[in-house]
């Protein structure tokens, strides 16, 4: 039995890494998936791979105008939304002395503002029983040198999941967040200052995980599917850590 048969899902940042793995999983479970991202070539690759199972819409989550275009396309389909996976975002390293206003606003506009307004604009389209999954990080409960702005942005996401779960519970809408540890994606490798430093960075991150390895985007997709589907029908306001134990043991 397909877990998301006849459902419509939105995946922001669905053209790479975790988002792309979630698109693949949702399509395999029978959903129609609206996929966003900024790069038109990456969106075209998703359209080629999944055909009629997806609708691709270009949109920067840090732009209210572009978000409006995304939700206009969803409204035009006429099926509403059953799942929102607010995933678009990212970060860069900066020690406290190196934080610039631009670094701060870029991180918060995409990770926090992008999530706030994705969810706000989705509300009129949400079907009864809809599930919203926000993308935090296991760094939301840990201190990490040179990553404080990113960590704070993800702690904000964890907080929003709690408040919005409270606000939307009477509409029968669940809100949860997912907290990945280090996951092997282009976004994680891209944190290295130079491509040749990526291997050392990823090796160091893996060594810090109790399971001694990076997670895969598919392992996150399985957890997101659980939160998106009725299998998690009694779960709201919570955060699911998928991090090889890194934040817990
Ligand atoms: N990988 C990890 O270890 C890890 C751990 C914890 C949390 N996370 C979180 O998981 C999410 C996905 O990360 P990832 O590692 O899969 O990164 P990724 O491989 O870089 O993929 C990021 C996706 O988001 C899109 N995107 C980025 N900024 C966007 C924006 N402003 N508006 C719309 N789309 C945007 C990208 O497409 P375009 O570039 O074309 O826009 C791409 O599709 C992020 O929120 C990240 O913070 C990742």
Domain ranges of the chain: 8-180+215-242
Would the pLDDT of 1 be above 80? no
CA distance 53 to 35: 10
Q: Are 57 and 30 in contact (CB under 8 A)?
A: no
- Asked whether the predicted pLDDT for residue 195 surpasses 90, the reply is no
pTM of the model: 0.98
Q: Look at residue 55 in the predicted model and tell me its pLDDT.
A: 98
Tell me the average pLDDT across 180-206: 95
pLDDT of residue 164: 98
3-class DSSP assignment, residue 50 = helix
Distance, CA of 115 to CA of 61 (rounded, Å): 7
CATH topology of domain 8-180+215-242: Rossmann fold (3.40.50)
Tens-place pLDDT, residues 77-88: 999 999 999 999
Is ligand 1 within 6 A of the CB of residue 114? Answer: yes
Query: By three-state DSSP, how is residue 171 classified?
Result: helix
Task: Give, for ligand 1, the residue of 14, 37, 138 to mutate: max count of ligand atoms closer than 8 Å to Cβ.
Answer: 37
CB-ligand 1 contact for 38 (6 Å cutoff)? yes
Share of the chain above pLDDT 90, in %: 98
Q: Mind listing the pLDDT tens digit for each residue in 49-77?
A: 999 999 999 999 999 999 999 999 999 99
Ligand 1 near 21 CB (within 6 A)? no
């Amino acid at each position: 039995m397909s877990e998301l048969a006849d459902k419509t899902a939105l995946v922001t940042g669905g053209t790479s890494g975790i988002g792309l793995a979630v698109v693949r999983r949702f399509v395999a479970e029978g959903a129609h998936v609206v996929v966003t991202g900024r790069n038109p070539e990456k969106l075209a690759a998703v359209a080629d791979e999944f055909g009629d199972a997806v609708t691709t819409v270009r949109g920067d989550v840090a732009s209210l105008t572009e978000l409006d275009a995304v939700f206009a396309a969803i409204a035009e389909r006429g099926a509403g939304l059953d799942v929102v996976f607010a995933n678009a975002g990212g970060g860069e390293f900066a020690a406290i002395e190196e934080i610039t206003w631009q670094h701060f606003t870029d991180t918060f506009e995409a990770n926090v503002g992008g999530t706030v307004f994705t969810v706000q604009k989705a509300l009129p389209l949400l079907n009864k029983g809809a599930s919203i999954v926000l993308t935090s990080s296991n760094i939301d409960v840990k201190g990490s040198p040179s990553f404080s702005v990113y960590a704070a942005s993800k702690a904000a996401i964890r907080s929003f999941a709690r408040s919005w779960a409270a606000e939307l519970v009477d509409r029968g809408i669940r809100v949860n967040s997912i907290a990945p540890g280090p996951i092997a994606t282009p976004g994680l490798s891209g944190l290295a200052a130079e491509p040749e430093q990526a291997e050392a960075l990823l090796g160091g991150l893996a060594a810090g995980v109790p399971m001694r390895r990076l997670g895969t985007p598919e392992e996150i997709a399985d957890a997101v599917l659980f939160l998106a589907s009725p299998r998690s029908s009694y779960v709201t306001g919570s955060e699911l850590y998928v991090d090889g134990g890194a934040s817990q043991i």
